[in-house]
Amino acid sequence: MSRMPLTEKKATTSPISTHTQRDERRRKLADVRQELVLDAARSVFFELGMEKTSIREIARRAGYTPGALYSYFPSKEHIYGALLGESLERLNTQVQLALEAAASPAERLRAGASAFFDFYRVNPHDLDLGFYLFQGMAPRGLTPELDVHLNTRLRDALLPCQAALQAMGLDEARATAEVTALFAHIVGLLVMSHTGRIRMFGQSSQELFSAYLAHLLKRAQGGKSA
């Protein structure tokens, strides 16, 4: 008695699965294109500054038409905000990585503050970007909501230092004041360093920062600020 031949089952792909895969490919392609735009914008902002930068020039360097660029960003200010947001995410990542090996509050203060300082020391353009130095020290063109969000992410990178100071005995008000002073000291040193003004005094920004941090640790370990 002969057997009926077995028929092979063909693999079928769910319409939903195909749709999901297609959406994923489109999303990845959009991400790549957006990154190209941001890379082009970064180079234009650094070279020309905020005022002289145009959507047309960003589009030219990214290999797109200005019209195509508007499908990703409605204005150059939105591009600026996206670049600043990406910079602040990298800053926060560097701070968190530095904290991983820090156990005691003193170690966490030193690690967090040093990571913050080193990020902007090694990346001077991020300092320009982070403090609106391309546009006259003011966040012109950024919506209030975006400005608040970006300031919050900048503040997040300093919160581990404040938490460490409070763990070392400072109350919240004193810890906040010390972190504010630390922040101002770091920015001031780096602006002087990146502009070459610190050479007027024959000083090193890294040495001055290390000395300031040592004094801060000493004050905090005493449980009060001088």
Q: What whole-number distance in Å separates Cα of residue 133 and Cα of residue 138?
A: 8
Q: Would you state the pLDDT for residue 27?
A: 63
- For the chain, residues with pLDDT lower than 50 are 4, 6, 133-137, 224-226
List the alpha helices (DSSP H) in 100-204. Answer: 105-122, 124-130, 144-156, 159-167, 172-195
Q: Would you state the pLDDT for residue 137?
A: 41
* The two structure tokens encoding residue 109: 């203060």
> In CATH, which superfamily holds the domain spanning 15-74?
Homeodomain-like (1.10.10.60)
Q: What whole-number distance in Å separates Cα of residue 205 and Cα of residue 210?
A: 9
Where in the chain are the domains?
A: 15-74, 76-226
Which CATH architecture does the domain made up of 76-226 adopt? Answer: Orthogonal Bundle (1.10)
Q: What whole-number distance in Å separates Cα of residue 114 and Cα of residue 186?
A: 10
Q: Would you state the pLDDT for residue 132?
A: 55
pTM: 0.80
Q: How big is the chain, counted in residues? A: 226
Q: Would you state the pLDDT for residue 52?
A: 83
Q: Would you state the pLDDT for residue 188?
A: 94
